Chains A and B, each alone.
Chain A
């Protein structure tokens, strides 16, 4: 599967959140989606950091590891405080499946091809997560503190998207 196909499948899985439209995900499911989405990007970042030779890609990957780990720490603490057990949903499952495809694809690549595939995926991923935050997670979160956490995460995701696009444009020049 090539990168654009993966990105498309990923977008579809996150847009698939709209399948919840009538019922909407529950708070435990939202917590599960938040934790899964963060963990996935930490894993991809770790692979990228170990594989890339590009300084900017390495810096971006480190930022993903640092930030998404920090967000998950806070999300975990809040879930514990609220006695909210993160639950699986079709969305968290399809996110995991998409991540497995992405990792498999990335593991087969090296050098510039790896950098491009990783960064392209990060752009698509953060865009999809941002859309999910706006259209599904914030509107459906019932608990005020859970909603507040997602509202507070949003600027970080938006900044990551800008940063990923910057690196993408840089790679395209080479």
Chain B
């Protein structure tokens, strides 16, 4: 009985846990661009930027206080989107590079 109840609780919690983990989205940094430049995600989703360029880059959203630090080639930066709305960001080293994450 007790065991059955525990299983039921676990099963009930599973989808919630899966939801909380959210989806994972990949953004490539390539050819001095963020690809895709505009990414729509749900709150709780994870975004992973990977630098596929020859030169170092950053993912910097000063408004949202997000800063990847300098990403050498083939390094990644992981970010969990929490706050809904638009999060514009740039590469601090190459301010002409712009992207936006839209959290829905």
Residue of B33, B55, B56, B72 ringed by the most chain A CB atoms within 10 A: B55
> A155–B93 contact, CB under 8 A?
no
> A163–B55 contact, CB under 8 A?
no
Interface residues of B in 28-53 (CB under 8 A from A): 31-33, 53
Residue of B nearest to A154 (CB): B31
Number of A positions contacting B (CB below 8 A)? 15
Chain B facing A: main interface SS: loop
> B54–A159 contact, CB under 8 A?
no
What's the A-B contact tally at a CB cutoff of 8 Å? 38
A66 on interface, CB distance cutoff 8 Å: yes
Interface residues of A in 143-166 (CB under 8 A from B): 149, 152-153, 155-156, 158-159, 162-163
Identify which of A149, A162, A163 contacts B54 (C-beta below 8 A). Answer: A149
Q: What separation, in Å, do the CA atoms of A108 and B5 have in the docked complex?
A: 84
> A71–B96 contact, CB under 8 A?
no
A67: chain B residues within 8 A (beta carbon): 55-56, 93
> A70–B96 contact, CB under 8 A?
no
Residue of B72, B94, B96 ringed by the most chain A CB atoms within 10 A: B94
> B31–A163 contact, CB under 8 A?
no
B73: chain A residues within 8 A (beta carbon): 70, 74
| Given A66-B55, A70-B73, A159-B96 contact (CB < 8 Å) | yes
List A residues at the B interface (Cβ < 8 Å): 63, 66-67, 70-71, 74, 149, 152-153, 155-156, 158-159, 162-163
List B residues at the A interface (Cβ < 8 Å): 31-33, 53-56, 72-73, 93-94, 96-97
